[in-house]
């Protein structure tokens, strides 16, 4: 009984492939910046740090603001 019934993936496919962190890092930074921008628009826009005048952005993200627990009125 020298052989296992089910060989491990490393035995059948060679060495496991490493995750290329250097290639993923720019995409992770880009996604993080997009998430921070979305968080700003949901949580802070139309307040003391408003970029746009009027209430269009506030009304567009109003339900998301309540869903995430941000007070708005």
pLDDT at 54 over 90: no
**Euclidean distance between CA atoms 8 and 22, whole angstroms:** 28
Q: Is the pLDDT of residue 52 over 80?
A: no
Tell whether the model's pLDDT for residue 13 goes beyond 90. Answer: no
Q: 14: how many CB neighbours lie within 10 A of its CB?
A: 8
Q: Decide which of 4 and 50 is more confident.
A: 50
pTM comes to: 0.57
Mean pLDDT of 63-73: 80
Q: What pLDDT is recorded for position 43?
A: 77
| Distance in angstroms (rounded) separating the CA atoms of residues 73 and 69 | 12
Could you tell me the pLDDT band of residue 11, with boundaries at 50, 70 and 90?
low
**Contact (CB, 8 A) for 46 and 55:** yes
């Amino acid at each position: 009984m020298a052989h296992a019934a089910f060989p491990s993936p490393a035995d059948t496919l060679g060495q496991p492939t490493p995750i290329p962190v250097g290639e993923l890092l720019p995409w992770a930074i880009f996604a993080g910046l997009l998430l921070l921008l979305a968080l700003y628009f949901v949580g802070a826009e139309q307040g003391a740090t408003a970029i746009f005048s009027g209430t269009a952005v506030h009304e567009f993200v109003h339900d998301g603001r309540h869903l995430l627990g941000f007070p708005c009125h």
